[in-house]
Structure 1
Amino acid sequence: MNWIILIIAGLFEVAFASCLGKAKEATGNDVYYWYIGFFISLTISMLLLVKATQTLPIGTAYAVWTGIGAVGTVLMGIFVFKDPANFWRIFFIFTLIGSIIGLKAVSAH
Structure 2
Amino acid sequence: MPLVADGKAKAVAHGELRAIGFWMIVRGATPVRPVRVFVSYEALAQLDPYDIRDLASAFEHFERFRARIEAAASDKFDRDGLDAEKYEGMPTIRLTTSDPV
User: Normalised by the size of structure 1, how large is the TM-score?
Assistant: 0.26
Give the structure with the larger strand fraction: 2
User: Normalised by the size of structure 2, how large is the TM-score?
Assistant: 0.27
Larger Rg: 1
Give the structure with the larger helix fraction: 1
Bigger RCO of structures 1 and 2 (CA < 8 A, at least 6 apart) = 1
